Structure 1
Amino acid sequence: MYPRSFSGCRSGRAYKSAFTLVELLVVIAIIGVLVGLLLPAVQAAREAARRMQCSNNMKQVALALHNYESTHRSLPPAWVDWDALYADPLHVAHANVAVLPFLEGGNAESQYNYNVRWDHAENADMATNMPGTYQCPSNPEAGATEPDSGFQTCDYAHIRSDTGWITDPAPNRSMFEQNEIRKFRDVTDGLSHTILQYESAGRAALYVQGRTAVSPSWWSQEYRAWAGHFNSGWLYPYQVELDPNTGNPNVTWFVGTDIINVSNLYGAPYAFHTGGMQISLADGSVRFLTENIDMDVLSALTSIDGHEVVGEF
Structure 2
Amino acid sequence: MSTSRQRGFTLIELLVVIAIIAVLIALLLPAVQAAREAARRMQCVNNLKQLGLAVMNYESMNGALPPQQTMVITGNTQPTQYTSWGISARLAPFMEMGPMYNAMNFSLKYSHESNTTVSYLQVKYLLCPSEPNITPPSGSQFGVSNYGWSVGDWYVFGGGGAIPNRSAFCVNLSRSLAAFTDGLSNTLLSAEVKASQPLYKSCATPSGISPTSYPADSATSAAFVAQNYKGGCKADTGHTKWSIGSACYDGFTTALPPNFKMMVGTPQVDIDYDTNDENNGGPTYAAITSRSYHSGGVNSLFGDGSVRFIKSTVNGATWRALGTIAGGEVISADAY
The code of the aligned residue for 1:228 comes to I
Q: 1:108 aligns with which of 74, 95, 100?
A: 100
Residue of structure 2 equivalent to 1:298:
319
Distance 1:27 1:80, change over 3 A: farther
Distance of 2:117 and 2:79 partners within structure 1: 23
Task: Tell whether the 8 Å contact from 2:198 to 2:269 is kept in structure 1 after alignment.
Answer: no
Distance of 2:271 and 2:178 partners within structure 1: 40
Distance of 2:235 and 2:177 partners within structure 1: 31
The Cα shift of 1:38 comes to 1.1
The code of the aligned residue for 2:173 comes to E
Unaligned runs of at least 5 residues, structure 2: 156-163, 200-229, 275-285
Residue of structure 2 equivalent to 1:144:
135
The code of the aligned residue for 1:47 comes to E
Residue of structure 2 equivalent to 1:167:
none
Q: Deviations over 1:218-255 (max 9, x none)?
A: 2457853010131112121376334336x6667789xx
Distance of 2:99 and 2:318 partners within structure 1: 40
Task: Tell whether the 8 Å contact from 1:163 to 1:302 is kept in structure 2 after alignment.
Answer: no
Task: Tell whether the 8 Å contact from 1:81 to 1:229 is kept in structure 2 after alignment.
Answer: no
Q: Report the identity percentage.
A: 33
Question: Where has structure 1 moved over 4 Å in runs of 4 or more?
Answer: 79-88, 219-223, 247-253
Relative to the length of structure 1, the TM-score reads 0.78
Residue of structure 2 equivalent to 1:235:
254
2:197 is aligned with 1:181: no
Distance of 2:240 and 2:287 partners within structure 1: 8
Unaligned runs of at least 5 residues, structure 1: 1-8, 165-170, 208-215, 254-264
Residue of structure 2 equivalent to 1:197:
190
Q: Within 5 Å, give how 1:96-135 maps onto structure 2.
A: 96-135=88-127
Aligned pairs, how many?
273
Distance of 2:237 and 2:261 partners within structure 1: 22
Residue of structure 2 equivalent to 1:259:
none
Distance of 2:302 and 2:96 partners within structure 1: 22
Residue of structure 1 equivalent to 2:291:
270
Distance 1:295 1:272, change over 3 A: same
Classify the secondary structure of the residue corresponding to 1:109: helix
2:301 is aligned with 1:280: yes
The code of the aligned residue for 1:55 comes to V
The Cα shift of 1:61 comes to 0.5
Instruction: State the structure with more CA Rg.
Output: 1
The code of the aligned residue for 1:63 comes to L
Distance of 2:239 and 2:71 partners within structure 1: 12
